[in-house]
Amino acid sequence: MTKEREKLNLIDTDIHERVSYEELLPYLENPWKRYITDCHWIQEKRMPYTQPAVAGVDRADARVPDGRPAGSDLGFMQKQLLDDVGHEFGILTGALDPSPSSMHGWYEMASALARAYNNWQIENWLEKDDRLYGSVHICANDVTEAVKEIERVGPHPKMVQVLLPIDDFMWGDPYYHPIYEAAQRHDLVIGMHHNEPPLYYGKWPRYFIEWHTLLPTSHMMQVTNMVFNGVFEKFPKLKLLMIEGGFTHMPHLMRKMDQQYKDLRHEVPWIKRMPSDIVREHIKFTTQPLEEMSKREFMQLIEQMGSEDLVCFSTDYPHWDYDSPFAALPPNLDEGLRRKIFSENARALYPKLPQSKGGN
Amino acid sequence: MRTVVCNKNDMAPGDMKEATLGRASIVICRTSDGEFYAFANRCIHQGAPLSKGKLCGAPEPTDKVGEYKFCREGEIIRCPWHGREFDAKNEGRTLSNPKFKLKEYKVEIEEDQVVVYK
């Protein structure tokens, strides 16, 4: 088994580290700190449900033995995930609490939280394990402050992407384009991970299972929005990773965008090539949560995307819908494709990752 | 095979006209510069009659997001169904992907008559 695991050489594109507000306090200045200590500020929540798994949003076995929430202890994560699986690298994506870009107001507080979170992440995770790389958290709705934060921590050698949560903001809007200019300039990928997008016409379905089933539609909206708003035409070196939406919806969306472009090109004259070509050049997708399927079904989807280079493995550790690198992919995939999914597609995506195992 | 479509002056720049060439339905376009072009009167997408569409202009490709420069009035055939655009002055190629084009016919002006040849 150990020998088998060594072959994986995994670059895991979605690992959730978690901070408690208490741990964040030393990194916050006043007045922001006292809004938590004295006024009990917490991140806004909009979903009517809990995550109805055994232990809420987390794997029941990922809770830290001393009782702290899953994802909050580097040592335990190293043991349960990085060492056990044999990760080459892992990209941290945060626990989306706090999620400064999800906030619908008080952007000064959101920007302060982003700065504090980045400092906490660098000190407690990125500089303590060579395998871990990080995401720059920003308050995207204060675009000037967001760019300043990218300038401040983006050059850190372990920061590889800028994280944008998917809620109800459409990130392709030209208002946000300075963020992409800054990301491109610092060789940072844009990583989009859903937080709490309302999916039913801006409202909530009655049941969690409906919401969770349709999460990929929120990813489809962002991809469509980014492509047709010309983000990749304006920033030709920019890359986007869509995290935790899976990829099996993309054959449909690529074909649909192409079809629409043939007829409605005149509305978006800044788009000068097939949308599916833009997707193949600029966007990649994480595997998790991967639907169970045969090798044949899996290969049909890859073929319809027209490329083996678009899919990157992700575990989503420590969440309940974690995908095991040893069991999630269909058995007997060709070794070349497996290697691409497990590591090479992610390595090609992130210019700041060491380009060969052991450093470049 | 040839067919006389009309007198040259029967069509103003920007006009389109349906005609037949043998058994084929064709569309004659007089572009804004006064030139004549003829194509199969059938959209390559789903077969819509192009002569029922418009000979109009289109926003030209731009490097600037949000910029619309409407130009080439009287040069672009727009399909009456899905709005697909064909460049009358560039062999009937689609604006979205110049790899695809309409079947084009040769047009001659003979003693002020518009004549289409197959």
pLDDT tier, A356 (very low <50, low <70, confident <90, very high otherwise): confident
- Cα B58 from Cα B94, distance rounded (Å): 12
Count of domains forming chain B: 1
Q: Which residues of B touch A269 (CB under 8 A)?
A: 58-62, 67-69
Which pLDDT value is given to residue B99? 96
> Does A355 reside within a domain?
no
- Mean pLDDT, to the nearest integer, of B51-59? 97
Whole-Å CA distances, A117 to A12, A160, A191, A234: 21, 15, 17, 30
Which pLDDT value is given to residue A7? 54
> Does A360 reside within a domain?
no
- Asked if A262 and B65 come within 8 Å (Cβ–Cβ), the reply is no
Burial grade of B90 (CB within 10 A; 0-12, 13-18, 19 or more): middle
- Cα A332 from Cα A323, distance rounded (Å): 17
ipTM of the complex: 0.87
Q: Is the pLDDT at A160 greater than 70, yes or no?
A: yes
Q: At what angle do helices A177-185 and A143-153 cross, to 10 degrees?
A: 10
pLDDT tier, A358 (very low <50, low <70, confident <90, very high otherwise): very low
Nearest to A218 by CA among A200, A232, A241, A240: A200
> Does A148 reside within a domain?
yes
Q: Which residue of B has its CA nearest to A260?
A: B82
Q: Which residue of A has its CA nearest to B64?
A: A270
Q: Which domain does A100 fall in, by range?
A: 2-349
- Cα A204 from Cα A198, distance rounded (Å): 6
Which pLDDT value is given to residue B43? 97
Q: Which domain does B96 fall in, by range?
A: 2-117
Which pLDDT value is given to residue A46? 86
- Cα A44 from Cα B83, distance rounded (Å): 45
Please answer whether residues A154 and A128 qualify as being in contact, where contact means their C-beta atoms are separated by less than 8 angstroms. no
- Asked if B67 and A261 come within 8 Å (Cβ–Cβ), the reply is no
Burial grade of B14 (CB within 10 A; 0-12, 13-18, 19 or more): middle
Amino acid symbol at B49: P
Q: Is the pLDDT at A113 greater than 70, yes or no?
A: yes
Closest CA of chain A from B99, distance in Å = 12
Please answer whether residues B28 and B38 qualify as being in contact, where contact means their C-beta atoms are separated by less than 8 angstroms. yes
- Asked if B59 and A262 come within 8 Å (Cβ–Cβ), the reply is no
User: Which CATH number is A181's domain given?
Assistant: 3.20.20.140
Q: Is the pLDDT at A351 greater than 70, yes or no?
A: yes
The model's pLDDT over A185-201, given as tens digits with 9 standing for 90+, comes to 999 999 999 999 999 99
Nearest to B79 by CA among B116, B40, B115, B107: B40
- Asked if A233 and B69 come within 8 Å (Cβ–Cβ), the reply is no
Cβ within 8 Å of residue A259, ≥6 positions away? none
Cβ within 8 Å of residue A300, ≥6 positions away? none
Which pLDDT value is given to residue A359? 41
User: Which CATH number is B36's domain given?
Assistant: 2.102.10.10
- Mean pLDDT, to the nearest integer, of A216-224? 98
- Asked if B65 and A264 come within 8 Å (Cβ–Cβ), the reply is no
Which pLDDT value is given to residue A9? 85
Instruction: Output the CA torsion sign for A325, A326, A332, A334.
Output: positive
Please answer whether residues A111 and A139 qualify as being in contact, where contact means their C-beta atoms are separated by less than 8 angstroms. yes
The model's pLDDT over A283-318, given as tens digits with 9 standing for 90+, comes to 999 999 999 999 999 999 999 999 999 999 999 999
- Cα A195 from Cα A57, distance rounded (Å): 12
Count of domains forming chain A: 1
> Does A359 reside within a domain?
no
> Does A358 reside within a domain?
no
Confidence (pTM): 0.94
Interface residue ranges in chain A relative to chain B, Cβ cutoff 8 Å: 174, 177, 229-230, 233-234, 261-267, 269-270, 272, 274
> Does A86 reside within a domain?
yes
The model's pLDDT over A8-28, given as tens digits with 9 standing for 90+, comes to 789 999 999 999 999 999 999
Q: Is the pLDDT at A2 greater than 70, yes or no?
A: no
Helix (H), strand (E) at residue A189: strand A189-194
- List the single residue in A234, A265, A270 with the smallest CB-CB distance to B96: A265
